[in-house]
Amino acid sequence: MSLIIPKDYKQTLTPETTEQAIRMLKNNFQEKLSKALNLRRVTAPLFVLTGTGINDDLNGTERAVRFPIHCMGDRMAEVVHSLAKWKRMKLAAYRIPAGYGLYTDMNAIRGDEDLDNLHSLYVDQWDWERTIRPEDRNLDYLKKTVRSIYTLLKEIEIMVYDCYPHITPSLPDNITFIHSEELLAMYPELEPRDREKEAAKKFGAIFIIGIGAELSNGEKHDGRAPDYDDWSTQNSDGFSGLNGDIVLWNDVLECPFELSSMGIRVDKTALNHQLDVCKCPERKSLEFHKALNEDKLPLSIGGGIGQSRLCMFFLRKAHVGEVQASIWPEEQIEICKKHNIILL
């Protein structure tokens, strides 16, 4: 995605007021999320040991930021990409029963990101995970959870309007569910990103199901690691996958806006199948994968919700750098400044 400069962009809030609004949004959303999904807050690591299989490798190509630990014989540690697998291990450690879970502030550094309006070197999100029963591993349960989160987004939108009446609500009443295979059928001539754009613009808010599996055209809608989300199990709609992305239509940038990636997590059958499909069966010997195959981890559903992205969307900002402090190319800073986009 290249840098987008909205025509005649005007800041909805001054930088000082924006800082206050960010605090309000973050405090309120995490409280609402905790109550809606029965989640307790826990403390999370910034880094984990390399070679344990705990870190999330995202699409499998992003390099983790690594460093040696002097007092441990220079054993390598790496900054987390996300906490998808770590959270599930915590569910087991804290013996959290079905219907309850945890959430945490996840902070990451992703040095391979292409920096633009939506992507930063610094990633902050609420990572959450909830224990489920075997009978909950289905599409209906996934959709019910997505609807619960979408209800919170609608509540936040109204809260912002109550505080700042010039920022008017734009989300539709309901979120639309679309499988990535259906999206391909709707727009067969388009690339995945452009399919998302057309669907998000049409419906306003969509949940794209089944991200990570190969589609009928031999390609994936987008990449997913094989060892956390279940993107291969057949679901009740006749497609594969029990995971997906919440994508909103951003009318400031006029583009699709991914706010959350989430899903029902792999059981050991799905884990081993997806490791074989992705040609990385050697991971079965890693700590996390062994624990799952030995039935030491609970079944779960979980995901991440971007904190800066949530603030950016609801405060109608044109650049994620307006709601978080990070590093940007000097050229990008200057271009943004010329168009009234002031990066923190």
- State which H helix or E strand residue 289 sits in: helix 287-293
* Selection from 145, 151, 118 nearest residue 209 by Cα: 145
Catalytic one of 261, 307, 308, 324: 261
Residue 233: which of 251, 247, 261, 213 has the closest Cα?
Answer: 213
Catalytic residue, candidates 34, 258, 287, 332: 258
Catalytic residue from among 124, 245, 267, 322: 245
Residue 110 is among the residues annotated as catalytic for this protein: yes
Say whether 224 is catalytic.
no
Distances (CA, A) of 325 to 7, 118, 210: 24, 13, 33
Q: Give every CB contact of residue 72 below 8 A, 6+ residues apart in sequence.
A: none
In 3D space, the residue among 331, 311, 333 whose CA is nearest the CA of residue 320 turns out to be 311
With DSSP H G I counted as helix, E B as strand and the rest as coil, what are the percentages for the chain, rounded to 5?
Answer: 35, 20, 40
Candidate list 110, 130, 195, 309, residue with the active-site label: 110
Q: Which of 30, 56, 260, 283 is catalytic?
A: 56
β pairing state of 255-264 and 300-306: antiparallel
- The catalytically annotated residue of 30, 82, 125, 308 is 125
| CA atoms of 216 and 181, how far apart (whole Å) | 7
Q: Is 245 an active-site residue?
A: yes
204: phi > 0 → left, psi -120 to 50 → alpha, else beta; which?
Answer: left
Report residue 60 as tokens: 């499998």
Is 63 tagged catalytic?
no
**Phi, psi angle pair for 301, to nearest 5°:** -130, 145
User: Where do we find the tokens 């959430």?
Assistant: 103
Q: Is 258 a catalytic residue?
A: yes
Is 261 catalytic? The answer is yes
* CA-closest candidate to residue 129, choices 93, 83, 175: 83
Closest CA to 18 of 317, 250, 310: 317
Q: Roughly what angle, to the nearest 10 degrees, separates helices 15-37 and 307-314? A: 120
Active site residues: 56, 110, 125, 245, 258, 261
